[in-house]
Chains A and B, each alone.
Chain A
């Protein structure tokens, strides 16, 4: 197993836990059929967190403006459905492409900077897009949100009140994107990304084109974020400025750190725990529930600095 090929092949093997996890994502249909709308929004957030993980966890690009691509996808899907084409699957593709184009364009700036400068840059890009959408109210509906979106059924399945179609749709797209991310991470390209994360100066010295790799990764992440945004539009028939907001960028960062960055399942686990906690806490006390969220975050970060998955991984290693 000394060869690089062997290493990658070993990495890409499906683990037993994974084979348990994915079938378990179907359980909400049977066990909690009243919670499918929430489950659908968790799947969408998980996909968004997964896309952030590709650049933050694997390529070391810290972003506080990832909602820019989520929102681009959401608005593209919304505008397309409102004016031209209300069938969701094509909308998903177009939204992914649109977000990817914006991602590719901005990646040229992003790859030139690291660390603090990156945080400021991504924050700036996010704010720019949000403000642009706000002032272009003739196109986006501004602060009132984009109105008049009517989605056609998805392959004959209407988007229902219970959220059955919404969850099935979001889950299927999440799974496909996850497969793609998994393949990317465990490829030589994925290894190169981790190399850049660990030592950006050294990678070009051994002949890896750092900036080209980072641009590629950033664009892939933007496409995925755009698809997540489009999913939200399709499953709720609404788009608002909130999809581009700083809060959304910050939330997804918190979710990823909570779950464990640099691990494929980090975003998914983070999204499940964060959103279920939010739902439960805010149900118990609609006014002051942020207190409990804060407490949860502090506890997790203090006890498990590498996120929940990082902590569990360390425990598992100790027990071996």
Chain B
């Protein structure tokens, strides 16, 4: 009897000692449902980072608890965040592919004072939800305002016709691009919004073509739609090599280019990451990611990879202290070299500051690739910059 007690006590001691030596990270992503592929890419990057850098940071072992929201479901995301905090006792909340889910979990981060790293969701205001939140992906205005300014000042485009999907993210992109385009001196002479689900682009593209525009700005959600749009452009005789077609990176990412084929040549996109980026770090990263996941990393993956870097670096800086205040203080102003180039966390807004690349689809060695034609360094989220002024 006594022996059992002693063993039990020893076990309990060992367990509590063990508990103090771990850092628990709760990862909330839409692992199932229509956004599952993005979640998989991001999660693979998390796994890659842990594989490369070991699962021990500042003397503490990392432990991951993964939770599925099944898609856009803020009520579920909030409950999962609550449960991660009160039941699983996680120290850090991470993941977040989708804006509504990130916003809902932000409340929990603020209330429980937990460090939260948003690895993808791109609506500008998300980071205002909690003072303990940082973001390692992008904001929609960051890319689109940069593109709008660039289009006038560098590409010499004077007038443009805009076409976007008729829902929140599309409106955001349109607004950001148009505002910057006008400020730089360009005119938007026409605009149209597509229905969000399964649109038939032909009629819209024809209407745009009838106006004989100098350039088109397009925003559609990633997935199947860029390819459908590219096809409609080709059918209606709009050649991206003659009429400039501008958009955000999803319009010409790897899957979109594959589906579009040569029609994609000439499309210009603003991106914060492309696997074709030329740096030693990125080549190694692309190679390692391919070994683990069997495909090239995209922006989902890189948001996750840099998110993990931020967590590791912040933990090292706090020497393993895991309270929200210490971690966010450590994260503010953190600078590092990412596969996408130099990045840092804005100490004021806790949002990422990064280079925006302007790239054009070209055929390189028989393969369609995004080729960087210009870059705009140190871009902050323009919306919050204006809010501060």
A41–B69 Cα distance when bound, in Å, is 14
Contact B99 A286 (CB under 8 A): no
Q: A141-B168, A242-B74, A287-B32 are in contact. List 18 more A-B contacts (CB 8 A).
A: A34-B83, A37-B79, A37-B82, A41-B76, A135-B167, A143-B72, A143-B100, A144-B100, A162-B86, A237-B78, A238-B75, A238-B78, A240-B72, A242-B100, A282-B68, A286-B66, A288-B32, A289-B68
Q: A134-B167, A236-B74, A238-B104 are in contact. Are A144 and B83 (CB under 8 A)?
A: no
Contact A161 B108 (CB under 8 A): yes
A38–B78 Cα distance when bound, in Å, is 11
Q: A142-B167, A142-B168, A143-B168 are in contact. Are A286 and B68 (CB under 8 A)?
A: yes
Expressed in whole angstroms, the minimum distance between the Cβ of B331 and any Cβ of chain A is: 23
B85, CB-defined interface residue at 8 Å: yes
B166, CB-defined interface residue at 8 Å: yes
Contact A289 B32 (CB under 8 A): yes
Residue of B29, B74, B79 touching A38 (CB-CB under 8 A): B79
A-B contact pairs, 14 of them (CB 8 A): A34-B86, A37-B79, A134-B196, A142-B167, A143-B100, A163-B82, A238-B104, A240-B73, A241-B72, A242-B74, A242-B75, A282-B67, A282-B68, A283-B67
Contacting A at CB under 8 A, from B1-57, are 29, 31-32, 36, 40
Residue of A161, A241, A290 touching B82 (CB-CB under 8 A): A161
Ordered nearest first, which 3 A-B pairs have the shortest CB separation?
A34-B87, A145-B100, A143-B168
Contact A137 B168 (CB under 8 A): yes
Contacting B at CB under 8 A, from A220-248, are 232, 236-243, 247
Expressed in whole angstroms, the minimum distance between the Cβ of B337 and any Cβ of chain A is: 31
B71, CB-defined interface residue at 8 Å: yes
A161–B169 Cα distance when bound, in Å, is 30
Residue of B68, B70, B75 touching A236 (CB-CB under 8 A): B75
Contact A240 B74 (CB under 8 A): yes
Q: Mark A294-310, 1 if CB is under 8 A from B, else 0.
A: 00000000000000000
A175, CB-defined interface residue at 8 Å: no
Contacting A at CB under 8 A, from B180-220, are 196
B281, CB-defined interface residue at 8 Å: no
- The chain B residue sitting closest to A44, CB to CB, is B75
List B contacts of A37 (CB < 8 A). Answer: 79, 82-83
A283–B72 Cα distance when bound, in Å, is 18
Residue in A162, A236, A238 whose Cβ sees the most chain B Cβ within 10 Å: A238
Contact A144 B123 (CB under 8 A): yes
B328, CB-defined interface residue at 8 Å: no
Expressed in whole angstroms, the minimum distance between the Cβ of B128 and any Cβ of chain A is: 10
Q: A144-B100, A236-B75 are in contact. Are A161 and B168 (CB under 8 A)?
A: no
B179, CB-defined interface residue at 8 Å: no
List A contacts of B36 (CB < 8 A). Answer: 287
A135–B66 Cα distance when bound, in Å, is 33
A143–B111 Cα distance when bound, in Å, is 25
Q: Mark B101-120, 1 if CB is under 8 A from A, else 0.
A: 00110011001100000000
A144–B124 Cα distance when bound, in Å, is 11
Residue of B71, B108, B111, B167 touching A242 (CB-CB under 8 A): B71
A35, CB-defined interface residue at 8 Å: yes
